């Protein structure tokens, strides 16, 4: 896993080589992943100070939304489980989650924290070959139907009439965090930047005269599947089953859980969404992974997504026509590509 990250980062560094005099870069570890920030066209000291500010911000957000280490979110979850009222430092995050829940027909459902925990994903190290949860336990939790409509927000007061609700923002926290961090960079005078949180990436501006060029990871876990040029304000977010998964008796179980049956999503190995908002692109990439080849198109339209690329287990790539115009595949490793009907 670490090698993949190093490979991806070296690839990006290579893309930038030749212009390093204008490029300030730092890497740090937060949100359980390596985060790289690159700023173009500012004096090094100013760029580094700006990166230091968002490094602190990202650590704070990671703490506030942590789903299992003691955090404001776990405090809220305890209050909900006890049938009491709770709070969050930034309740806007909940309103966003509610909207994405509705737009995705409930496939993006950050109220299923108990199911995610049941599958053993509320821990940092997933390499212990832990036994699978029993079908009865899964069915019991699914029957309680925890969802975002159960939650009421009144000002700073948050409550749920369903005590089975347990919030887990893992599917969109990184996307939202890079939105907020990018806003902060702008306030600090940055006009051209990339924030890459382990494959969840947001850019503003461009790299000198040229757009930023992003590598999208190959779902095999090594190398780059495709490259895409981005500029203005865009987020490129990939959900994949190659990074966080559990393996039991040779079978791989994704950390993306289908709220309808409580089972790990199957069928797609990687889903990339490009959108202005990182939070939206992140929530959508998770929802489309569950929607699968049959329903992704409808869910993407409902969520207002304009660019999607999906990869199935056979390695076939599916793109909408506008995405097809943007992605570039290495000429020696071109996959089978199927272009869908337009999204809009």
> What residue ranges bind Mg ion (CB under 5 A)?
171, 239, 282, 285-286
**Binding map of ligand ADP across residues 232-251, x = CB under 6 A, - = no contact:** -------x---xx-------
Looking at the Cβ atoms of 168 and 179, the one nearer to ligand ADP is 168
User: For residues 277 and 286, which CB has a smaller minimum distance to Mg ion in the complex?
Assistant: 286
Q: Which is nearer to Mg ion, 225 or 284 (CB)?
A: 284
Residue 25 binds: one of ligand ADP, Mg ion, none (C-beta under 5 to 8 A by kind)? none
User: Which residue is closest to ligand ADP by CB?
Assistant: 170
CB contact set of 293 (below 8 Å; sequence gap of 6+): 267, 268, 310, 312, 318
- Nearest-angstrom CA–CA distance, 138 and 129: 19
Q: Which residue in the set 23, 118, 148, 257 belongs to the binding site for ligand ADP (CB under 6 A)? A: 257
Structure tokens, 302: 């409902």
179 touches ligand ADP by CB under 6 A: no
Tell me, residue by residue from 50 to 69, as one string, x for binding to ligand ADP by CB under 6 A and - for no binding.
Answer: --------------------
Judged by beta carbon distances under 5 to 8 A according to partner kind, the member of ligand ADP, Mg ion, none in contact with residue 225 is none
Question: Any contact of residue 86 with ligand ADP (CB under 6 A)?
Answer: no
108 is an interface residue for ligand ADP by CB under 6 A: yes
Residue 299, SS3 per DSSP:
helix
Q: What is the nearest approach in angstroms of ligand ADP to the Cβ of residue 81?
A: 18
Nearer to ligand ADP, 179 or 207 (CB): 179
Segment contacting ligand ADP (CB under 6 A): 1-9, 17-25, 105-113, 218-226? 105-113
259 binds ligand ADP per the rule CB under 6 A: yes
Q: Alpha helices, DSSP H only, in the chain?
A: 2-16, 44-64, 72-81, 92-103, 113-118, 135-144, 173-187, 278-302, 321-326
Residue 110 partner contact from Mg ion, ligand ADP, none using kind-dependent CB cut-offs of 5 to 8 Å: ligand ADP
Instruction: Determine the interface stretch with ligand ADP among 13-21, 78-86, 101-109, 125-133 (rule: CB under 6 A).
Output: 101-109
| Residues 180-219: x where in contact with ligand ADP by CB under 6 A, - otherwise, as a string | --------------------x-------------------
Asked whether 122 and 116 are in contact (CB, 8 A), the reply is yes
User: Taking the complex as a whole, how short is the minimal distance between the CB of residue 136 and ligand ADP, in angstroms?
Assistant: 20
Stretch that binds ligand ADP, among 12-20, 82-90, 138-146, 252-260 (CB under 6 A): 252-260
Nearest residue to 72 (alpha-carbon basis) of 55, 87, 54: 87
Q: Which residue has the tokens 């230091």?
A: 52
CB of 191 to ligand ADP, least distance (A): 27
CA 132 from chain centre, in angstroms, equals 25
Q: What is each CA distance from 57 to 18, 31, 193, 219, 270, in whole angstroms?
A: 31, 12, 16, 30, 29
- Residue 290 DSSP one-character state: H
| Nearer to Mg ion among residue 24 and residue 289 (C-beta) | 289
Is residue 114 involved in binding ligand ADP (CB under 6 A)? Answer: no
Rounded CA separation 263/285 (Å): 17
Q: Quote the least distance from Cβ 211 to ligand ADP, whole Å.
A: 23
Let me know: does 247 contact 225? Beta carbons within 8 Å.
no
Q: Concatenate the DSSP letters of all residues of 141-207 into one string.
A: HHHH---GGGEEEETTEEEES-TT-B---TTTHHHHHHHHHHHHHHHTT--SEEEEETTEEEEEE-B
Do strands 317-319 and 337-339 pair parallel, antiparallel, or not at all (unpaired)? parallel
Other CB atoms within 10 A of residue 336 CB? 10
Which residues of the shown chain bind ligand ADP in the complex (CB under 6 A)? 107-110, 112, 116, 121, 168, 170-171, 174, 200, 239, 243-244, 255-257, 259, 282, 286, 290
């Amino acid at each position: 896993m670490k090698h993949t990250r190093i490979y991806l980062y070296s690839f990006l560094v290579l893309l930038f080589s030749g212009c390093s005099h204008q490029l300030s870069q730092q890497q740090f570890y937060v949100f359980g992943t390596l985060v790289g920030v690159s700023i173009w066209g500012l004096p090094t000291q100013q760029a580094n100070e700006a990166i230091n500010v968002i490094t602190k911000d990202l650590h704070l957000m990671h703490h506030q939304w942590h789903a299992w280490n003691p955090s404001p979110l776990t405090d809220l979850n305890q209050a909900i489980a006890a049938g009491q009222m709770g709070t969050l430092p930034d309740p806007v995050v909940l309103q966003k989650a509610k909207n994405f829940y509705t737009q995705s027909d409930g496939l993006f459902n950050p109220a299923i924290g108990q199911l995610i925990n049941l599958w053993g994903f509320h821990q940092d190290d997933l390499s212990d070959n832990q036994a699978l949860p029993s079908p009865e336990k899964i069915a019991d939790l699914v029957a309680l139907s925890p969802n975002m409509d159960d939650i009421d927000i009144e000002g700073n007061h948050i409550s749920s009439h369903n005590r089975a609700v347990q919030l887990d923002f893992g599917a969109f926290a990184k996307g939202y965090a890079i939105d907020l961090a990018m806003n902060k960079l702008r306030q600090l005078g940055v006009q051209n930047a990339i924030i890459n949180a382990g494959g969840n990436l947001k850019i503003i501006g461009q790299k000198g005269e040229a757009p930023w060029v992003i590598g999208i990871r190959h779902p095999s876990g090594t190398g780059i599947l495709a490259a895409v040029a981005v500029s203005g304000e865009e987020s490129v977010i990939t959900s994949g089953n190659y990074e966080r998964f559990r393996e039991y008796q040779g079978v791989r179980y994704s950390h993306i859980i289908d709220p309808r049956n409580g089972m790990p999503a199957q069928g797609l190995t990687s889903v990339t969404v490009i959108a202005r908002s990182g939070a939206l692109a992140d929530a959508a990439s998770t929802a489309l992974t569950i929607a699968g080849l049959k329903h992704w198109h409808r869910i993407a339209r409902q969520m207002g997504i304009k660019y999607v690329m999906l990869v199935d287990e056979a390695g076939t790539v599916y793109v909408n026509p506008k995405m097809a115009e943007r992605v570039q595949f290495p000429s020696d490793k071109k996959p089978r590509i199927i272009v869908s009907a337009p999204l809009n």
